[in-house]
Amino acid sequence: MDAEFWQQRWREGRIGFHHDAPMPLLVAHWPRLALPPDSRVLVPLCGKSLDMLWLAAQGHRVLGVELSPLAIAQFLEENRLTARTWDSPLGRHYLADRIELIQGDAFALDSNTLAGCTAIYDRAAIIALPPALRRHYAASVYARLPPGARGLMITLEYPQAEKDGPPFSVEEPEVRALLEPGWQVDVIERRDILASQTSFVEQGVTALDTAVYALWHEGAPHAAEAASRSG
């Protein structure tokens, strides 16, 4: 699953993962993190998510990273935002008030950029990636965020054999294996959402839960980072 896969989905408008309102689970659970208002929040694989507007409205500075130029163009146009632009080794940057977007690869973010992010919001990133890339993602992004960083992760859990991802099923044991012991991982909600997800039902999925995790970076190297270094 490479960059062209996602570029093609945006060109064809196959973006069922996009919501037309801020994610209710974000609104319900973000206050639990108790972040200072001016915190910089990383939103990897951000698409044109309206969650970024909601985070900015809470007083945060938002850093979204997205491969698709079409997604970024749509986000700016649909929300009537005018952005200042510049280029860096990370890609093209778009700055509109409290929201900065980088058209580039989240896996390639440098240490200085990640050191400035004291929070992460992961609604559509980890579940968009197959298993091998999830390990790389944890080692490239989560392991390099600063100690004390906090996060909210929202995943899906379903019998993976019943449906091809993305979105993929990412269950609690895998989340813990990817992030612990460097991160404290707390499950704060799990709910059955199958009845409301007709596309899953139509594909024969028999069970579907969403899980919400509160995350706290304690600063110790975790298994994914160690494996990355030794491999």
Tell me if 10 is assigned to a ligand binding site: yes
Structure tokens at 117: 């992010």
3-state class percentages of the chain: helix first, strand second, coil last, to nearest 5: 40, 25, 35
Cα–Cα dist 63/56, whole Å: 10
Residue 17, burial from CB neighbour count under 10 angstroms (0-12, 13-18, 19+): middle
Task: Catalogue the E-assigned strands of the chain.
Answer: 40-44, 61-66, 84-88, 91-96, 99-103, 119-122, 150-157, 183-192, 209-217
Cα–Cα dist 63/17, whole Å: 19
Tell me if 40 is assigned to a ligand binding site: no
Can the peptide bond before residue 181 be classed as cis, meaning omega within 30 degrees of 0? yes
Question: Closest Cα to residue 168, out of 115, 225, 124, 128?
Answer: 128
Can the peptide bond before residue 167 be classed as cis, meaning omega within 30 degrees of 0? yes
Tell me if 66 is assigned to a ligand binding site: yes
Sequence ranges of the binding site for S-adenosyl-L-methionine? 10, 45, 66, 123
